[in-house]
Structure 1
Amino acid sequence: MNFDQLKQAIIEYSKEIGIDKIGFTTADPFTTLKMRLIKQQELNYQSGFEESDIEKRTNPALLLDGAASIISIAVAYPTRMKEKRKGKKGARRGLFARASWGEDYHTVLRERLQKLEEFIKSKYPEARLKSMVDTGELSDRAVAERAGIGWSGKNCAIITPEFGSFVYLGEMITNIPFEPDQPIEDLCGDCNKCLKACPTGALVQGGQINAKICISYLTQTKDFLPEQYRSIIGNRLYGCDTCQIVCPYNKGVDFHFHEELEPEPEIAKPLLTPLLSISNREFKEKFGRTAGAWRGKKPIQRNAIIALGHFKEESAIDDLQKVLKDDPRPVIRGTAAWALGKIGTEKARQVLRSARKKEKDKDVLNEIEHALAD
């Protein structure tokens, strides 16, 4: 088998199935990444969503018998909506990060990788393959960096010369000894715009992030959000794009190559108030196909309540009162109390005083007291 010819055939086929960039690297251990991950663990900077076994994250040989190479793929996604939605007083809107626009990218990339697997096996039946997207053991970014897809920016995103950092990544471990591609030169230079713009200071230094205080992570948690981050989150419902938006390599970047990745405006930027009473079924029907739905409706509802407080949206007082009175979840009730405190009108304070007489949960009572004290 001529593996150079197979590599070229794979590159050509990848274009046919909607893969915007493809690269090849060895299946050697990721030694530098391993040292970084150990340091991250020591500093308690990991989010907890990652694979916990560092050996599996950095040694492809543990994931596929006879691993010889890794194929990395990138798919570009839009950064602007064709149909814009603007929130206004009385009809405020929240925002999902761009990575959650359109159909869940895990599904989209897995389908493309599946097609690629079938193509490779049709050409080389002896092939052994293992594909993954985001939730797999390997670091998508480390693979992409070594495979020449892009360089790892100071914002910890892979930046491609063609599409900026607005790309989804996936990879496939193979037992085929493909010739590796060359990594791309790091072009961040002395630019520190992303570090300066990070709302919570999660970008500790270039290439190092404290994931536990990254807004993208915070919006996905299910507990009470620490108070110091509530106003910072603003109207973000899921994820954060700040460190990518300010990147010079993303200036003017906006690609609409794939129909399934196009955002539906009422999903990507939904009205906030209806989210407070949305049922599980309604949530799944409306948001279930997006990447932002994977943690369920609770974080989205909590963030919607925070956004209403951020806007000081007086028209939401009745809805927040209903949440504070009837919702069975202390986190949601307590966050509603915080939002009412931020709205701060006499009507909002009366709702809080009334709720204080009946509330039994200590955490919620604490939120009510703080809200009334402000």
Structure 2
Amino acid sequence: MGIAAAVLGTAAFMWRRTPPRVQVLDTQEHRVRVTTVVDGLRSPWGLTFLPGGDLLITEKRGRLRLVRAGVLQPEPVAELEVASSGQGGLLDVELHPGFARNRLVYLTYSKPGPRGSTTALARGRWDGSRLVDVQDVFVAEAWGRGGQHFGSRIVFDRAGMVYFGVGERNEKYPAQDLASDKGKILRLHDDGRIPRDNPFVGRTDARPEIFSYGHRNPQGMTLHPVTGELWETEHGARGGDEVNHVRAGRNYGWPRITHGVDYSGARISPDSALPGMEQPVLHWTPSIAPSGLAIYAGDRFPRWRGHLFAGALAGQQLRRVVVEGDRAVHQETLLEGRSRIRAVKNGPDGNLYLLTDASEGSLLRVEPAP
């Protein structure tokens, strides 16, 4: 099914700059400089780098923006029709691993329809100045009337399979139902076909696109740069935010096990562990609301290599996590109180790039300070 993808002809809005534009911080391992690269972004959600260093950035209202030579271009390069109420909208963006050859760009978004809305994966072709021929690749069976818990990040593995997370739409128990895509991480071929080696292929009681289940609202996901394995962060309720090492066919427990309670303070489950369900590598209680995850893989911060960096919304921070095997052994809080961090990404220049979640959001660069 086609989706309109068009360049808007409206004039750009002018926004106030977000102070401070440059901030120098001493962290436990490195002295860093945090620079505001661009501002004027309207509720940005995801980012990816084009060859040569330009960026594509999604805005929740359905607009895809281009940062060229460090300057936010005044007009969106595409616009999608999205269900933008609540947590819905245009979400993540990622390049196909063969982008140099096929020019394909992938997006996740909250898709409106007669049954409410759901999370969908779409792709279009980058023609050098705009995204064209945008079409759905896969529409998750996660329809609901509410505006909460859509997920969703996009990750390609080394075999070219694409993964994307789908929230449980604030309905809890469908996360345990293998006949639903709610509360799942899905794995597909790049054209939306189901891989034959997916863990539930051939089962009549399960959807074959499911890779893992028992997730609440996965909004951070990345591939480990050394092992090639999938890592994920997800929102708990009142506490119980999780970092998970995601493996095929595993059950991550929500809502049958949790380390948090409901927003009212009521107990969600009497159990924080049960046989056959995975424990998180790390959980945060009280909640920091993690959104956006990267494992640092560059050369500019050698003592950070292999560390997890999770953005936080409620916590308004960037959290550094040192992991040994499947055990978190150390944490450091960075940029505390500066802003809600929505996305975290390794840059091709070896720096870390962040998006701040606000109606007047910014792109930040974290680089070594002299």
Quickly name the TM-score band, shorter chain normalised.
Answer: under 0.3
More helix by share: 1
More strand by share: 2
Greater RCO (Cα-Cα under 8 Å, separation 6 or more): 1
TM-score, reference length from structure 2:
0.25
